[in-house]
Structure 1
Amino acid sequence: MWLINVKTLELKEFPGDQIPSYAILSHTWGPDNEELTFRNVKDGNVNKDCVGWSKLHGCCQQAESDGIEYAWIDTCCIDKTNHVELSEAINSMFRWYERAFVCYVYLADVPGGDSPQEPGSKFRESRWFGRGWTLQELLAPSDLRFYNSDWHMLGSKKGLRDIIQEITGIPDELLQGITELHGASVAQRMSWAARRETKKKEDLAYCLLGIFGVTMPMLYGEGGDQAFFRLQRHIMMEKTRDDSILAWGLSAQEAPTSDSGQVTSGRILAAGPEEFANSGHIVSYELSAPSKHSLEFSGGYLRIHLPLHIVSAGNAIGLLNCGPQHADQQVDQQVDQQVVGIPLAETTPGSGLYVRPQERPVVLRPKTASGALSMLINIKNDSQAKPPADANRQVWLYNNGKFSLVNLSLIDVVPQSCWDKEGTQITPAVESDGAMHRTLARFRHSDELTCDFVIVLEFEQRGTRTMARSWVTICSRKTPLEELAGKLHHMAHKVSGKASASNGPLNLRVTLEHGAHQPTFRVRLEAMPHPPDVTIDATAELQKWDLELELAQTLCEGSAKIRRLITRQAEVQKRWNDLWHTDGDGTGVQTPLQWAAESGYADMVKVLLDGGADAAAADKNGWTPLIAASSRGHVDVVQLLLSTSGVDIDSKDSDGRTALGWAAGEGHGAVLQLLLEKGAAMCTFRQTLQGHAEPICDLAFSPDSKTLVSASEDKTVRLWDTATGAPGQILRQHDDAVVGVAFSPDGKTLASASRDGTARLWDTATGALRQTLREHKNYVHGVAFSPDGKTLASAGMDRTIRLWDTASGAPRQILWQHDGPVMSVAFSPDGKTLASASCDETARLWDTATGALRQTLREHKNDVLGVAFSPDGKTLASAGMDRTARLWDITSGALRQTFQHEKQVSAVAFSLNGRILVSGSGDATIRLWDVNSGAPLQELQRRGVLFNAVAFLKTRRQRMAINAVAFSPDGKTIASGSEAKTIRLWDVV
């Protein structure tokens, strides 16, 4: 435990059995830049102009006047960059406040002259009474004193207990110390936190650990609900049975009992203390005999021995051994004692498996309710339960992961208003009785040359029942779904009832399945071994309908006009065909259109196109007019060609390059942007590599681009053949997650970084371990080789960068100046500069020869997670927790570009020519950016679907975060690694 000497303001650490008497401060946190940190105090770097100084100075001055030598302040005495220390502190916090000689409560929002006794006083409205962490700070100390913003004492906890009880609802006798905290029921203690808030949602559970005397690890990011579920399970496991933990959801006034037959599975555990807001009077009753039946939680079910009052078949009220406090005071009148009754519904008759329905209220019932039978039952905790649906609402719940099993992804729904993308559900609006409603869902196959599948969901309300049907068709990727929905009635008689269809690569069967509980249903998609007898092509059906209309209209205009048009068209077509054959005889001579396109003669191109020239014609090298114009940067010509039907924007020449590839390679930014806006694919999905058992942390290509290496939380390093995707060697000697990897410049040595505190060097050919580098005092996060391969840099949780001799493994140098864990390192191409990324919100540039700090790059607003140099060494890219990737000028340190994601950016990498930056993010996307203009180029989603620059900010987020990205040295491949435990390879055009 770290304590502050109140005279010298120096920090000193004390073992657990040698802690001296100390004063402790309770306060509410201000802005981070206004609070003093552990590092500030440790280094003597104290800003006396901030609010944190007022707290430190006032607390120490007061402690000194009280004859106390040491003080403890949470902002200054916990090293929050050390996650182990932080977790230990949170689990020990209640005990530390309890053991303090005195606790000073500093109320910065209560001015001098304010009187707590006055109604409407600032004391009564203080923010301190509404914060989660201050609840235990109020309850734990025996001697607690309140001070205003001038450090004048307002009174003690015992002296102000009536006012505090009025504000908090905590009983007077507990504030006086007459009764013990553990004497209050779980429901009562939860109710005291019901109207409190914390900055992080998980903290609303963590701040209650000491109040219930339990410990559990901190898992920030799990969400407030999950943290609170874990807290309740720990209370059940570690404490004697107290049924009041289930007495949540009480109304201020008793709610009417629902007669609805509808059952929507709910939670047996509360999602937060706010659900105990009306349970402050619920106490746990003493058992007449010691209970042999504890509360056990396993596999998502609560196992409990409970009296059941049967209401109807399959429906019961579970009578808890707790109830209103006033009832418990009726001595020897157990007959009249009321208990809390929770609604229960049996999932299957006789199964003993129950759910707590959302629609039904908690009630109070006599403890000796007629017909109550004590039974051992299992109650499901449906932690994902949502509020009950309307009677007329149908919800299609879907799982993107299951769609991917058949290489499909849901890309569009009509009407759009029915689609909750993030919630992965579709909620069709069912109209009045007898009305038919259709919802269309469009699915796209990973094979880019295939048609889309369209599933049509039909709903019809018949009395109290909603009838649901589904059928499937295919359509061209170019057919707008809204157009199809508007004209669906023309083909409904053909498609209705068709449960299967084929688009070539996939033979798809569609099955509609109702969920266990109305009103949910699922549409099951599965591959069939053989195509169906009939597949309806919706695009073809629409074209037939349009042609029928056109034919009818043309017939009305007269047959003579038809003959003239047909004759004229044939003449023009023959003349142009003859002209092309004259010049384009297969010897490589350009067609007139290709020559005009490459030369940039837009007017001539327009004349040729209007005359019927084949815009898709290619010479023997595969060059089309579009490729020719794109390679020369002729924007107006490219625009003309793209507005012409029949042009394949992604056609490739004999070298495999597309128009987009030529524009990007030649640096024609305007053409590049135009092609992207028209849907050109910069990258195409190649394959998925599977084998790791835990999330991927880092990736690196060998210098020859033939091998990919991956690091994973499963403690292994794996090598893969990038051409075939075949797995190679598995390196297993790390004792904890492997979070960083790098190849030496000659490709013969592999370096790895691990949370076991080591960096290791391996022989790439044999997989043999060459060196283990052990000087770091904590996790090692990243590694990088110098361009000459003689030096390895490693980034450590201990805030250091260490340089090692790769031949001997000997440490060469330590770079110390970061104020937080160092997450990543990278050498410049010339080897003269080392870049580092740190949780101190900076990226830094170092002189590799001297170790001197050259630049500190400070624009990030949170942890910096990764760095990468451009191939020319003039630009540095950084990835940050602040949801940005940033580009910096190496010479001046100036910020050049900022690229935005929806969640933290985990990794960045440059293309071979340095013109494209790729970034991977916690928002589960991989994004490509134009380095010079800052324009977004492409977004890659997890199943290989590509989105253009205009649309990508609106695309649906996937579930699994991207942790790593890498560009192959030959510039032809992008690799990505994710929380999904998989690696994906993408071909770059």
Structure 2
Amino acid sequence: MRLINVNTFKLEEFLDYRAPPYAILSHTWGDDYEELSFRDVEDGNINKPGIGSVKFRGCCRQAAEDGLGYAWIDTCCIDKTNLVELSEAINSMFRWYQCASICYAFLSDVPSDDNFRQKGSKFQRSRWFQRGWTLQELLAPKTMRFYEWRLLGNKGSMSTTIASITGIPRHYLLGIAALHTASVAQRMSWAAHRDTKRKEDLAYCLLGIFNITMPMIYGEGGEQAFFRLQEQIMKVTRDDSILAWGLGTNDSSTNNTGNIIRRDQTLKYTSSVDMSGGSIRAHLPLHTTPMGQIIGLLSCGPENNSQLVVGIPLIELSVGSSDEYARPRGYNSSLYLTTVAATEPKPIRIKHDNQENVPVDLGGLFFHYEDDDFTDINLKIVDVAPRSCWDEERALIMSTPIAHDGVVGQILIRLRHDIQDSKDFVVVLEYKKESSDTRVECLVFICSRNLLFEELVLYLPSMMQKLYGKRRAKNELLSLSIALERVERQPIFVIRPELVLDGVFATIDATVELGAQKLIRESLQLLEENEETERESNELKDQMNSCDTSLNEIKKEQETILAKLKELRMRQKALVAKETEYTGTRTKITTRQDEVKKKLSGLSTQWENIQERWDTLGQDEILRCTLPGTTVLQWAAAKGLIEVVKQRLENGSDINASDQNGYTPLIVASLGGQFEVATLLVEHGARLDAQTQKGATALVPAAISGCVELVQLLLDKGVDVEGGGNPEGTTLQVAAYYGHADVVRLLLDHGADIEAKNRSGVTALVAAFNGEKKDVTKLLIDRGAQVHTCDEDGKTMLIRASAGGDTEIVEQLLAIGKINLNARDKEGRTALEWATQNGHEAIVQLLGDAEKDEVDAEGLENKDIELVITQTNASYKKAVEALKENDGDIVNAIMALSI
């Protein structure tokens, strides 16, 4: 790009990405001879008369004041005689304005004392806001000031006014929102009222706003340039709002689309809008109106109403495939409720050619008239609705094609008499497609001259019932009927007016009808408003009554609250006195607590000393008591001090009080085997079902003590023989563990479960064995305890006895018979293997003899068997099996066992 050195006024060339900071000028061009051209600056001719020199020097001077060394002005920084350079510059211009440090907008038609906020100010009517190129120059720069070489203001401070002038929302003006977030229709609308000197430039000046590039072809005409612009836009966007303003030949048709935004979620498309083969390809839901008009529904709509979408009118072409449509000339886009857009999108092609080139035969009707026929009776056609149907030059009225059978289409023709104050005639051409033909009917009525045709079209459906059959009408001057003559086998009708001889017939006056309808609407509206007002009046009366009731309730409640507050203040005064009293008391209690705590600590120390002395006297560990927690009654019960127990019971001590472990006096007496004390406690109502924290009743500690009489007492009183469900062991298990054989017999006699297990899987037999209580173990075996039961290590009683070297137990177990000599524990070892490993020779002998009794060694020599056992350390059974499998061959048997 070329830049002007603001000090030397010379042009210097830079690569875009190496350009130094520069100012840029935005202005409107004057006459070409006044503007400074590239050649003028190159030749140093910068002082030639005219506005160009003023802008050149003003821009350079302001840039220098702003600390910038360079400036850019489009008139002189581009060599417009070089078409390649011109095309490159136009495609780069938006970026150049965007990258400028500051943009000066020179408004030559705005005086420096102009109040830009005032309606109709010179600023608001400036030519700068009407030119095409200044649109991108307004949007691109980050910083922009307005000058008449005296500062008028900046874009930020003037943004509200500029937004009002241009229709561009402030968030786009100030660069808060990116331009691509505005819909195509919105961006097109910003240029709708702007113009350029060359018509092609009206398309070229929008390139940067849509971030696209295309070659400049001056001479192609504005229409072709705009078509190429549309094509490039469609290549880079899925935004179908480009169709919201139609396939117009320029952007002036976009002036009503400024608030049209994209609706990404309203409709669903499978492809983008694009152009190919002279047609626009799109996926659109198609809607047919009650009048037979086909509407293509777009995924865009007004920003302030999400319930509406834009619909474009279409006609289906009779030539080509069924998916080809055209935009009928003169029919504008309209808004439709989103509910009609529920149909599935359909792939269609919209013919892109100029509408004048669309084939005439589109399935519509043609109504021809002769002006002279109407002139002869002093009538003239003054309007047709839709206006687009009227080709006045050819005296032709054309209908749009009807898509489906039975759908009615209408065209209205307004006729006016040349005598003032007479009423107008209105002709309704109503046509309906039936099978392969179209039926046309003509209806006539009158209306006043000042009745707006648009209003008449709007309310015509409400009049149709009265109009049917009215083929003639009369005003103050004449009676008229309309004849339609069809050209044979052609969709062409000739309209001929005919005077009617005066006769008796009714004429519909639309002015009267619409006046009556208006009165009906006004009356209904007034009555509805009156009903609403009366309803509101009644609601207000109810609200007033409710309000008065609430106020009375509030007043009463306030009086109640005031009385309560008085009472509460008195109560508060009393509480303050109490608080003072209790605060002093609490202080005394705190002091006493410290003294008591200190005393308890001393007592605890003394108690420990006493316990140690008891220990020297042979106190059982399980009877050791701790402070705090031990009461006099509890300790006396444990020690068997019956007199002390009696005294405490007489003094009202709690007989069932328990310590932190859940031990009651009865439980500790039972643990100590204190039969007399326990009897006394039971007689005084001690709870027999009381349990420790572990779930044991008094029967369990009684069993631990081994006191048969105490156990008998508790059983006689109905205590559960199992001891209350202690998970660490039943009554029988603890008695067995501690070796109390008499207690075990007593419990078994009372039905204790000999096979019950604790949470470790230990039975009474295993417990006795673990406690090394042989007599109890023998007793339990004699009483039928299961000897095959395994402990948590998988060891049977035989394995445990063999491993422990308990010869008597082994003998007893073997004497029972049917003992599994080959059972293995979790380590995979048998009883014999354990006895062998631990060197219990007597047990090894016992087990070996037992094994021999089970094995059939017939036909084998004992010395051979012993030799195999000696060499392989195998069991007797395995040695016999190996010899038998090898037919008595000692060597092979030894080898088989050694593998």
Greater strand share, structure number: 1
Please say which structure displays the higher CA radius of gyration: 2
Greater helix share, structure number: 2
TM range (shorter): 0.3 to 0.5
